[in-house]
Structure 1
Amino acid sequence: MGVAFAKTPKGQAEITSKTGGLTPRQRRVLIMIDGKRTVDELRDMLQSDDLQHTLGMLEEDGYIMAASVTDSSGASQKLSAPLPPITAFRELSGATDPLKLQQARNFMSNTLNAFVGTLGNSSLLGRIEQAEGHAGLRALYDEWYHALVMSREGKREAEALRAKLLLVI
């Protein structure tokens, strides 16, 4: 199954006006989105390790939206209802689950130590350990992801690690 994104009116306006403050990389991805190409096709064309993160940012900021889904047979179907954002955090229940919270905290710390190392990330590691609840960890999510994709080994695994973290954070 593949998802194809289309530009929203805000995304169309950004192409001509360049007022949204997008980075060259984000702008390039926005330009390539046409409502027909799936995420996998975009990944092949753009050769990027953080495409999912860039698409999530563009979607959350209202530049793009999911337009259609392609099934395993290759048939494309328009969406009748919007899909949840690709970088959406899961819904939290009213009570904090200490097990999930510790899993998320450990996952973030362990992946940083394994793929980036403690040198240069001790500040982030400290803030992860001190974060108050899921909201505190979610506030550190972008910084965690950025640290991963800035390392050679982390860049290769960033997409899979991001998906795993979103299950517990």
Structure 2
Amino acid sequence: MCISLIFFSGGWMSPYFQYGLSFMILSALSFGFKGAGLSIVLYGAFFYLALYANGFTFDRIIEKGYLEPFITDYIIFIAIGFSFAFISKLINDRSLSVLNLDNQGQQENQFEEISAAEQSEDTFSLTARELKIASLLLNGLNNKKIASNLNISINTVKFHIGNIYRKLGVKNRKEAILRLRRSNLKIGR
């Protein structure tokens, strides 16, 4: 006889089950394992009261042989509660790791701003031609337009941009533009 006692309290869709389980899931998600433990105890009492209201005392449950399904149902409730508590823990851990990454990113940005301010005093050791190309980079020109504007070849532009990246300590055009904008470098914009 493997019937569930939930059937006797009105089934899975009964208010007893729905409200009790909702409370258990919410407290497990909100308060983690402590909330799950407390709500499991409260839900067990609530579930037993629902059975009692339907004429099933503990003695009658034992007498009818329903103790095994009663225990099985309670174990299911425990599993559900702690599953949601575990999910809550995973979500919180993930949120904390994302916050730590954000804090780390903010610290790196602060360091970059400090180092950019320090480097702006010596103009990053850029040559006059590199400063002119940096100015055109800041104006949003691509390599071809920079080359035509300065009457030099595209390969020469690429060479100077490579030097600019190296001197600024960046890897791409976007980082170079951000670094140049953060600096107080006085170049013709």
Relative to the length of structure 2, the TM-score reads 0.25
Structure with greater helix percent: 2
Higher Rg = 2
The answer to which structure has the higher strand fraction is 1
Give the alignment's TM-score, normalised by structure 1.
Answer: 0.28
